[in-house]
C-alpha cells in the first residue's frame, strides 16, 4: 500500500508559500544587482575591484550619485568607513565612460533593487509573525551551526513539525 504524501497543516503551508516567495525575490534582487555590476563594467567603472560589496553603505551612496559619475574624485569622496582608506583606488575605479544611457539604466536598476529589498523586508515581517507560535522550535534549530534563524524557519516551513511522518532520517532527507 502506498503511504499518503506529506501535506502539512494550513498554517505551515501558508508559511511555506511566503518563505518560497521570499527566496524568489532574493534571487530576483541578486540578478538585478548583477545587472548593475555588469552595467558599471560596461561603463568601465571597476567598483567591484575595490569594494567587496558594491551595495554596501559606500556603494549605495556611489550608485545614487550617478549624476556625478563623470567626476571620479567626487564619487570617491562619498566613501564611508573602511572605504575611506581606499580613496585613490576608488578614484581609479571610477574613471570610466559613464554616459546618460548608463545613468538612466542605473537609476532604474537601483530603484528595482530598493523595491525588491522593501518587499523582502515585508515578507520577513510576515514570516516573523508566522513563526511566533513555533519560536521555541526555531530557536532549537537555530542552535545548529550554520543554520541560523532564517534557515531554521525555512526548514520548518518545508517539512513541518510532525517528524512521525518520516519513518527514518533517510525518508526525511529524501
In the predicted model, is pLDDT for residue 22 greater than 70? yes
Q: Return the pLDDT at 121.
A: 96
How deeply is 129 buried, as exposed, middle or buried, from its count of CB atoms within 10 A (0-12, 13-18, 19+)? exposed
In the predicted model, is pLDDT for residue 133 greater than 70? yes
In the predicted model, is pLDDT for residue 42 greater than 60? yes
The DSSP annotation for 60-78 comes to HHHHHTGGGTT-HHHHHTT
Packing angle, helices 148-159 and 100-131, rounded to 10: 70
Give the torsion sign (CA, 41, 43, 48, 53): negative
Place of cell 532604474: 108
Q: Return the pLDDT at 165.
A: 79
Q: Which of 1-15, 45-59, 66-80, 136-150 has the lowest mean pLDDT?
A: 66-80
Please tell me the distance from the alpha carbon of residue 38 to that of residue 34, in angstroms, as a whole number.
Answer: 6
The grid coordinates listed for 147 are: 543554520
Q: Return the pLDDT at 68.
A: 47
Contact between residue 33 and residue 51 where contact means Cβ atoms under 8 Å apart: no
Q: Return the pLDDT at 62.
A: 46
Q: Return the pLDDT at 23.
A: 95
Please tell me the distance from the alpha carbon of residue 157 to that of residue 127, in angstroms, as a whole number.
Answer: 10
Of 24, 17, 21, 15, the C-alpha closest to 129 is: 15
pLDDT over 70 for what percent of the chain?
71
Q: Say which residue, 9 or 74, is predicted with more confidence.
A: 9
Q: What is the pLDDT of residues 61-95, one digit of tens each?
A: 544 444 445 576 666 666 666 666 666 666 666 77
Please tell me the distance from the alpha carbon of residue 130 to that of residue 11, in angstroms, as a whole number.
Answer: 8
Say which DSSP state 78 is in: T
Amino acid at each position: 500500500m502506498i503511504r499518503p504524501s506529506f501535506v502539512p497543516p494550513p498554517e505551515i503551508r501558508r508559511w511555506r508559500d511566503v518563505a518560497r516567495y521570499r527566496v524568489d525575490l532574493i534571487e530576483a534582487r541578486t540578478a538585478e544587482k548583477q545587472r548593475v555590476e555588469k552595467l558599471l563594467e560596461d561603463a568601465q567603472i571597476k567598483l567591484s575591484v575595490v569594494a567587496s560589496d558594491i551595495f554596501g553603505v559606500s556603494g549605495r551612496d556611489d550608485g545614487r550619485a550617478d549624476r556625478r559619475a563623470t567626476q571620479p574624485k567626487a564619487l570617491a569622496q562619498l566613501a564611508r568607513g573602511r572605504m575611506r582608506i581606499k580613496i585613490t583606488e576608488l578614484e581609479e575605479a571610477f574613471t570610466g565612460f559613464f554616459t546618460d544611457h548608463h545613468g538612466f539604466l542605473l537609476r532604474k536598476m537601483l530603484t528595482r533593487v530598493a523595491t525588491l529589498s522593501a518587499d523582502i523586508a515585508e515578507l520577513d515581517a510576515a514570516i516573523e509573525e508566522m513563526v511566533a507560535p513555533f519560536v521555541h522550535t526555531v530557536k532549537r534549530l537555530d542552535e545548529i551551526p550554520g543554520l541560523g534563524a532564517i534557515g531554521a524557519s525555512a526548514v520548518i516551513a518545508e517539512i513541518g513539525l510532525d517528524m512521525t511522518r518520516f519513518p527514518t532520517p533517510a525518508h526525511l532527507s529524501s
